[in-house]
Amino acid sequence: MTTYREAIREAIAEALTADERVFLMGEDVGAYGGCFAVSLGLLERFGPERIRDTPLSESAFVGAGIGAALGGLRPIVEIMTVNFSLLALDQILNNAATILHMSGGQFNVPLVIRMTTGAGRQLAAQHSHSLEGWYAHIPGLRILAPATVEDAGGMLAPALADPDPVLIFEHGSLYNSTGEPGTGPVDITTAAVRRPGRDVTLIAYGGTLHKALTAADELAAGGIEAEVVDLRVLRPLDEATVIKSIIHTHRAVIVDEGWRSGSLSAEVTARIVERAFYELDAPVERVCSAEVPIPYAHHLEEAALPQVPAIVTAARDVVSS
Amino acid sequence: MPRKTRARSSRDRELLRQMLRIRRFEERCVELYSGEKICGFMHLYIGEEAVAAGVCHALTSEDAVVSTYREHGHALARGVPIRSVMAEMYGKAAGCSRGRGGSMHIFDAERRFYGGNAIVGGGLPVAVGLALADKLLSRGRVTACFFGEGAMAEGEFHECLNLASLWGLPVLFACENNLYAMGTALARSQAETDLALRAAAYDVAAWPVDGMDVRAVADAAERACESIRAGAGPHFLELRTYRFRAHSMYDPDRYRDKAEIEQWKLRDPLGQIRLPEDELAALEKEIAQELEDAVTFAEEAPIEPIEELTRFVYSEVRP
Ligand SMILES: Cc1ncc(C[n+]2csc(CCOP(=O)(O)OP(=O)(O)O)c2C)c(N)n1
C-alpha cells in the first residue's frame, strides 16, 4: 500500500532517473518540498537543476516549460492549483495547445503540467474550483484525472512519452488516499470500469470517483447494481467505454465537481444522447457542484459539492423512472 | 535596531494598541484553529504588525485598502470590527463575508476594505482600478494596496506599476518584504533584491522602510499619502519585515533557520514602544475583553442556512 502522493513522487523520481531530459519545475517544489509535499525529498536526491524552484510567475515558468520542451527537454511543470493556472492560461492555450497546428506540424510540445484541483478542504473560492472541464475544451491538449493510486503513479511515464502537452489534474482530497501501487505505466487513452453493474451507469472522475463507488455500495444494499465508469481521460474522451456501458445499463448518472452549466458532465451527456439516445430508458441525470463560487464555511461547502446521498437519489430516480 | 522608547504621543499609543490587538487576535486564532473552530488556510501576520498599524494609521476613512490572504492585521488596523472578523473565521453568517470567505477573504464595504485576495498579485489591478475611479471622479482618495515581495515576480506587479505611474494614479503600493514567499527566499527567486529600485524603474517614488519600527512605517506612510494626495501619483514602500510564524498553518517551515527567526524576534515591533506597566496592563485587559466578546459573539452566531447557499452569485436588486 502507498499513498496517492507517494505514488506521484515515486513516478517523478523514476522519470528523473530514467531520462536525463526530464526535470521538475514550479513554485516551492524544492526547498519547501512541494505545497502538497509531493516532491518532498526530491531536491536532496536530484539537486536544484532538476528540481527547480521558480519565482511566483505562472505565465513565465509555464511558458518556459513550453520553450524547454521545444528545445528538446521533457519538463514536468507543477502549478500549485488550477486556480493559479489561470495566470498561465494564455501560455497553455495560445502556445502549448496550438503550436503544433500553427506550425503545420513542425513543432510539437512534449510538456507535462501537473496541478491540484477541487474542493473539500474549506479553502474558499480562490482555491477550490474544478476547472479541468475548461481545459478539456481545448483541442491539442490531453487531460488526465487520476482518481486511484495506481493511476496517480502510472500516468506520468506515458504522459512524458506523449509527444504533445498533457495536463494532469490531481484532486486535493486524494493525496492521502491509499491503495496498491501499480506495476508500471497505465493506459492514458481509455476510461475504466471500476465496478460492474447492470442497472445504471455512474460516470465520475477524479475527486468524485470514490463518492460514486460509495454510492454504488449503498445502491447495492437496496438491490440496485450500479456500474461505475471512471473517465480518467477527460480529453480526448473515451466515448466507447461510456457508450458500451449505457448499452448495458440503459441509464446514466454523471457526477462532476465542476459547475453543471457548460461542464464536462454536459459534454458527456451530449455524447450519450448523440450516440445512444435510443438505448436510454430514462433521461440522463447529473450531480454537479452548485452554481456558486465554493464557500468557506464547512456546511456551505458540503452543500455546494456533489455528495453521496445526491448520487444515490439520482440513481434511484433514473432506475425507477 | 529600532529604539525601545517610551510612548511619546497619542499616535504612539494608538499604534501600539493596534499592534497588540492584531497579535492577541492571532494568538487566539491559533488556539481556535487547533480546536477546529477555524479551518482552511490561515496565514498569520505575527511579527509584521507594525506594517498594518503604521500604514493604516496614515489613511482616512475615505481611503481604500486592498489586501492579501494574510490580511487579519490590515482588516483590524483598518477598523473592520473584530466581532465580524472573528465570526468570519468561524464561517458564520454574522461574519463580514457571511461565512463564504473565511480567513483569506475578509471584505468590509463600510471601511472600504476590498478584500483579502488569495491569488498572489491579484489585488494590484483592483487597486489600480479603484484609484483610476478616484482620479476620474476627482475624489482625492488614496488606495493602499498590500502585497508580499513574492508578488513582485508576477507579471501583474509590473503591469500595474506601469499603469499606475503612466496614469498618475493615487495608489500606495505597500510591499511587505518578509523575505520569503512560502518557502522561497527572496534572493533565490528574484534577480534584483532592491525592491524600491525596481519600483523606481517605473518612475514611481519608492523607498525602503524598516517595517519592524512602527513609527518609521507611520512616518513613511504619512509622507507617501500626503504626496499622493498632492497629485504626485503612485508611491511604493518596501516595508522590511519578517513573519515569526510559518507561512500558513499547513507549513512545516522546513526552509529557514530557527536561529534566523530568533534573531528577528529580537526586533519584535511590539517591543518598540514602551508603556508604563499599569497602562500596559490596562491596555492588555481592554484587548482581552474585546477578544473575549468577539469569540463569544462568533461562537453564538448562527450559521448561514443552507438555503442561502446560492445567494450573492448574482445581485438581488436588478433594474
Ligand atoms: C498566483 C498564485 N500563485 C501561487 C499561490 C500560492 N501562494 C500563496 S501565498 C504564496 C507566497 C506569497 O509570498 P509573498 O507574496 O511574499 O507574501 P507573503 O505570503 O510572504 O505575505 C504562494 C506561492 C497563490 N496564492 N497565487
Read off the pLDDT of residues B262-315 as tens digits, 9 standing for 90 and up. 999 999 999 999 999 999 999 999 999 999 999 999 999 999 999 999 999 999
Q: Is A139 on the interface with B (CB under 8 A)?
A: no
CB contact under 8 Å between B309 and A124, yes or no, is no
Position A263 scores a pLDDT of 97
Q: CA-CA distance, B147 to B138, in Å (whole number)?
A: 26
Q: Is a pLDDT exceeding 70 seen at residue B2?
A: no
Where do the domains of chain A lie? 2-179, 192-320
Position B8 scores a pLDDT of 86
Note the helical H segments in A1-71: 4-18, 42-46, 58-70
Nearest 5 degrees, angle CA A300-CA A306-CA A307? 85
A88: its cell numbers: 498561465
Say yes or no: CB of residue B150 within 6 Å of ligand 1.
Answer: yes
**Which residues of chain B lie closer than 8 angstroms to A176, CB-CB?**
none
Q: What is the DSSP letter of A94?
A: I
B262: its cell numbers: 530568533
CB contact under 8 Å between A297 and B91, yes or no, is yes
Say yes or no: CB of residue B186 within 6 Å of ligand 1.
Answer: no
A286: its cell numbers: 447529473
Nearest chain A residue to B186 by CA: give it: A55
Read off the pLDDT of residues B81-133 as tens digits, 9 standing for 90 and up. 999 999 999 999 999 999 999 999 999 999 999 999 999 999 999 999 999 99
The string of DSSP codes covering A274-312 is HHHGGG-SS--EEEEE-SSPPPSSHHHHHHHS--HHHHH
Read off the pLDDT of residues A71-98 as tens digits, 9 standing for 90 and up. 999 999 999 999 999 999 999 999 999 9
Q: What is the DSSP pairing of strand A192-195 with strand A226-230?
A: antiparallel
CB contact under 8 Å between A56 and B153, yes or no, is yes
What are the C-alpha distances in Å from B81 to residues A193, A272, B73, B78, B94? 53, 53, 12, 9, 11
Q: For B78, how many CA atoms within 13 A lie in the half-sphere containing its CB? A: 28
Question: Prior bond to A236 cis, omega within 30?
Answer: yes
CATH of the domain spanning A2-179: 3.40.50.970
Strand ranges of the sheet holding A285-289, from the earlier edge strand across to the other edge = A192-195, A226-230, A200-204, A252-259, A285-289
List of E strands, chain B: 5-6, 64-68, 113-117, 143-148, 171-177, 180-181, 184-185, 205-210, 235-240, 273-274
Q: What superfamily would CATH give domain B1-308? A: Thiamin diphosphate (ThDP)-binding fold, Pyr/PP domains (3.40.50.970)
Read off the pLDDT of residues A222-253 as tens digits, 9 standing for 90 and up. 999 999 999 999 999 999 999 999 999 999 99
Which residue is it, cell 503544433? A100
The string of DSSP codes covering A74-90 is EEEEEEEEHHHHGGGHH
Ranges in chain A, pLDDT < 70: none
Q: Angle B49-57/B214-229 helices, nearest 10 degrees?
A: 40
Q: Is A296 on the interface with B (CB under 8 A)?
A: yes
Q: CA-CA distance, B67 to B122, in Å (whole number)?
A: 9
Position B4 scores a pLDDT of 72
Q: What is the DSSP letter of B113?
A: E
Of B171, B120, B128, B126, nearest to B149 by C-alpha is B120
Q: Is a pLDDT exceeding 90 seen at residue B21?
A: yes
Closest residue by CA, ligand 1 atom 12: B181
CA distance A215 to chain B (A): 23
B152: its cell numbers: 513582485
Average pLDDT for residues B222-246, to the nearest whole number? 98
For B313, the 3-state DSSP assignment is coil
Q: Which atom of ligand 1 is nearest to the CA of B186?
A: 16
pLDDT range class, residue B3, cuts 50, 70, 90? low
| The domains spanning A2-179 and A192-320 adopt the same CATH topology | yes
The neighbour count for residue A270, using CB atoms within 10 Å, is 11
Task: Give the class (CATH, top level) of A192-320.
Answer: alpha beta
Nearest chain B residue to A85 by CA: give it: B119
CB contact under 8 Å between B306 and A292, yes or no, is no
The neighbour count for residue A206, using CB atoms within 10 Å, is 27
Give this prediction's pTM: 0.94
Contact A230, A192 (CB under 8 A): yes
Q: Is a pLDDT exceeding 70 seen at residue B25?
A: yes
Q: CA-CA distance, A21 to A11, in Å (whole number)?
A: 15
Q: Is A126 on the interface with B (CB under 8 A)?
A: yes
Nearest 5 degrees, angle CA A41-CA A47-CA A52? 90
Side chain identity at residue A213, one-letter code? L
Q: What is the DSSP letter of B192?
A: -
CA distance A43 to chain B (A): 12
What's the gap in Å between A35 CA and the centre of ligand 1? 11
A301: its cell numbers: 461547502
Q: Which atom of ligand 1 is nearest to the CA of A87?
A: 1
Q: State chain B's mean pLDDT as an integer.
A: 96
Position B6 scores a pLDDT of 86
Say yes or no: CB of residue B116 within 6 Å of ligand 1.
Answer: no
Mutate to test the interface with B, among A36, A52, A56, A116 (most CBs of B within 10 A): A56
Q: CA-CA distance, B221 to B237, in Å (whole number)?
A: 8
Cα-to-chain-centroid distance, residue A87: 19
Position B1 scores a pLDDT of 52
Where do the domains of chain B lie? 1-308
Strand ranges of the sheet holding A51-53, from the earlier edge strand across to the other edge = A51-53, A22-26, A74-81, A112-117, A166-171, A142-144, A233-235
